[in-house]
């Protein structure tokens, strides 16, 4: 599966600087299997990391990277289907692999894959205008998200802006709550139409997140011109100790209007919910 | 290396799947498992002796280590461990089965028929290539640039660097030593890594690197020795 180079390169860099979520790591390893240039870059980062640490391999950081995934998945009690996918992929012949990718690509709604993109180099961000009366605040203040709009490099960043559907959004999260280790982030438009951010459309459950962080960037840019439309967009962040099943969240969002002020997951005590309502405007001159 | 044999309460907690026990077992055995998968091992197949020469690429080894521990930490495998024999051997047998079951059909994984390799069965493809003067110069340059990067770190960052990167202390231990928060340690560490990779990029340590040391050498060795599947 050959994904856009800048995105793949960013994943590699992030693996060695910030660490990746489980789902992104699985994606990254599938890319490396298929792409010698990226595998070489990964190896180079790995060797440089060892040189910096002056330690035999694996370095402390490699040990911590592997540990995060192993412990989280063990405690979640499942061997991720996506990991199995990597190994099935690895074991298959090149021809079968190529065929599988083609079928996979044809079966997936193609447009769903395109709303996530790498952020531009030196991107600048502006906070997005939040409808304060449309906010669902969490029971605990230790978690939350912020929504930003990517703006041109020469833009003077205002206090906050209303995004148009030609814009790209990005998110940060904070997590200083006790026992929160997973995040599910999605958008809801119209009557319960779900736009998946984390996990993305291919993922099956929440992503693991860091603890004790404030305004930690999630990294991807979300193109509003793909999968979204002008109008209200509710962005829902669900923080939990255990990963949530995507199908369950989708079921809860069914028929939910963006302006509805009911928590998506009802009164579930094991889920902390922060939800904001924003408006996606028609771009200038197209209204 | 007899952690679970000697420590009964840890063994019980491990069997129950408690986080602290899983972490302790992982930390104790991750290096041996990583080494086992990197170095390879010999085995018998269809009456002949063969050698798996080990995984070369970092990502492959990390992926394999994760899979081996995920298998070993599954409830079924935890409960199946008798607590009498060394856990290391138990892990190695899982690692061995993983390699033979799941990776043997990949051409990148080298299985050498020992009868064809004339006693040189454990030859490491990387070791078999002598370092050229250019390699030596590149290593020296890398060493100099790493030292120069470390010198450029501000005092506070250097304290974090020493504890985390050189002494391999945990985030918690480092925070306690420096009387600061874990968040400070983590964010400083991320900044150091980011700066380091940018620094090395500017010094050309990414541009001149070629993907030749792993697969090319392995493939040459395969051609020379006549490599087949494991079965």
Which residues from chain B sit within 8 angstroms of residue A40, using beta carbons?
209-211, 214
pLDDT of the residue at A95? 42
Under an 8 A CB cutoff, do B196 and A48 touch? Answer: yes
Under an 8 A CB cutoff, do A41 and B206 touch? Answer: yes
For B98, the enclosing helix (H) or strand (E) is helix B87-98
A58 to chain B, closest Cα gap in Å = 7
* Alpha-carbon span A184 to A246, nearest angstrom: 8
**How does pLDDT run across A32-88, given as a tens digit for each residue?**
888 888 899 999 999 999 999 998 889 999 999 999 889 988 887 644 434 443 444
* Alpha-carbon span B122 to B50, nearest angstrom: 10
A77: contact with B, CB 8 A cutoff = yes
Contact A148, A172 (CB under 8 A): yes
User: Which of A184, A211, A198 is closest to B19 using CA atoms?
Assistant: A211
A13: contact with B, CB 8 A cutoff = yes
For B18, the enclosing helix (H) or strand (E) is none
Q: Is residue B142 predicted with pLDDT exceeding 60? A: yes
Under an 8 A CB cutoff, do A54 and B166 touch? Answer: yes
* Alpha-carbon span B69 to A243, nearest angstrom: 20
Q: Is residue A250 predicted with pLDDT exceeding 60? A: yes
Under the banding of pLDDT at 50, 70 and 90, the label for residue B139 is confident
Q: Which among B16, B24, B58, B203 is the top mutation candidate for probing chain A, defined by the most A β-carbons within 10 Å of its own β-carbon?
A: B58
Which residues from chain A sit within 8 angstroms of residue B103, using beta carbons?
90-91
Mean pLDDT, rounded, for B62-74? 94
User: Which of B194, B184, B193, B204 is closest to B137 using CA atoms?
Assistant: B204
Residue B135 or residue B130, greater confidence: B135
Which residues from chain B sit within 8 angstroms of residue A77, using beta carbons?
75
Residue B19 or residue A6, greater confidence: B19
The neighbouring-strand residues paired with A280 are A231
B83: left (phi over 0), alpha (psi -120 to 50) or beta: left
Residue A265 or residue A286, greater confidence: A265
| Token pair belonging to A268 | 């579930």
Task: For chain B, positions 57-116, list CB contacts with chain A under 8 A.
Answer: 57-59, 61-63, 65-67, 69-71, 73-75, 102-103, 105-106
| Three-state secondary-structure class, residue B46 | coil
User: Which of A223, A276, A263, A31 is closest to A115 using CA atoms?
Assistant: A223
User: Which of A44, A34, A196 is closest to A114 using CA atoms?
Assistant: A196
Average pLDDT, chain A: 79
Under an 8 A CB cutoff, do B168 and A55 touch? Answer: yes
For A29, the enclosing helix (H) or strand (E) is helix A22-34
| Token pair belonging to A269 | 């005590």
Nearest-CB residue to A70 (from B59, B73, B142): B73
A85: contact with B, CB 8 A cutoff = no
Q: Which percentage of chain B shows pLDDT scores above 90?
A: 45
The pTM of the full predicted model, rounded to 2 decimals, is 0.57
Contact A161, A279 (CB under 8 A): no
pLDDT of the residue at B114? 55
B189 to chain A, closest Cα gap in Å = 8
Pairing of strands A231-240, B111-113: unpaired
For A205, the enclosing helix (H) or strand (E) is none
Under the banding of pLDDT at 50, 70 and 90, the label for residue B185 is confident
């Amino acid at each position: 599966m050959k994904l856009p180079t800048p995105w793949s390169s960013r994943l590699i860099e992030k693996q060695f600087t910030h660490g990746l979520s489980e789902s992104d790591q699985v994606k990254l390893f599938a890319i490396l299997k298929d792409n010698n240039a990226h595998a070489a870059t990964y190896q180079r980062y790995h060797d440089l990391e060892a040189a910096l640490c002056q330690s035999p391999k694996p370095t402390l950081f490699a040990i911590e990277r592997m540990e995060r995934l192993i412990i989280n998945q063990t405690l979640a009690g499942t061997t991720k289907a996506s990991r199995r996918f990597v190994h099935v992929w690895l074991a298959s012949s090149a021809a079968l692999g190529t065929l599988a990718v083609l079928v996979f690509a044809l079966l997936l709604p193609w447009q769903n894959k395109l709303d996530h993109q790498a952020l531009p180099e030196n991107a600048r961000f502006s906070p997005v205008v939040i409808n304060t009366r449309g906010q669902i605040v969490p029971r605990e203040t230790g978690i939350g998200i912020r929504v930003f709009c990517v703006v041109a490099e020469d833009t003077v960043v205002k206090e906050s802006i209303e995004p148009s559907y030609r814009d790209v959004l990005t998110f940060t999260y904070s997590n200083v709550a006790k026992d929160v280790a997973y995040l599910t982030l999605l958008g809801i438009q119209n009557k319960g139409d779900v736009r998946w951010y984390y996990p993305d459309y291919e993922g099956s459950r929440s992503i693991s997140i860091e603890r004790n962080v404030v305004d930690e960037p999630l990294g991807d840019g979300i193109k509003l011109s793909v999968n979204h439309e002008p109008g209200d967009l509710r962005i829902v962040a669900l923080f939990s100790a255990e990963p949530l099943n995507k199908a369950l969240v989708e079921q809860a969002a069914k028929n939910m209007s963006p302006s509805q002020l009911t928590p998506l997951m009802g009164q579930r005590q094991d889920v902390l919910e922060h939800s904001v309502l924003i408006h996606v405007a028609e771009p200038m001159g197209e209204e | 290396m007899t952690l679970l044999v000697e420590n009964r309460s840890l063994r019980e907690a491990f069997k129950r799947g408690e986080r602290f026990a899983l972490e302790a077992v992982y930390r104790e055995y991750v290096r041996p498992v990583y080494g086992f998968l990197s170095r390879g091992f010999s085995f018998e197949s269809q009456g002949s002796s063969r050698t798996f020469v080990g995984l070369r690429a970092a990502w492959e080894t990390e992926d394999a280590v994760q899979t081996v521990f995920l298998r070993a930490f599954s409830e079924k495998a935890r409960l199946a461990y008798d607590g009498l024999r060394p856990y290391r051997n138990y892990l190695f047998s899982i690692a061995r089965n993983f390699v033979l079951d799941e990776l043997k059909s990949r051409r990148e994984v080298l299985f050498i028929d020992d009868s064809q390799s004339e006693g040189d069965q454990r030859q490491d493809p990387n070791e078999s290539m002598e370092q050229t003067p250019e390699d030596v110069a590149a290593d020296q340059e890398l060493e100099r640039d790493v030292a120069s990067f470390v010198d450029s770190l501000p005092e506070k960052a250097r304290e974090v660097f020493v504890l985390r990167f050189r002494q391999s202390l945990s985030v918690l231990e480092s925070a306690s030593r420096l009387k600061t928060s874990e968040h400070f340690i983590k964010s400083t560490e991320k900044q150091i890594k980011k700066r380091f990779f940018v620094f090395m990029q500017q010094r050309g340590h990414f541009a001149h690197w070629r993907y030749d040391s792993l697969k090319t050498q392995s493939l040459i060795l395969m051609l020379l020795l006549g490599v087949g599947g494991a079965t």
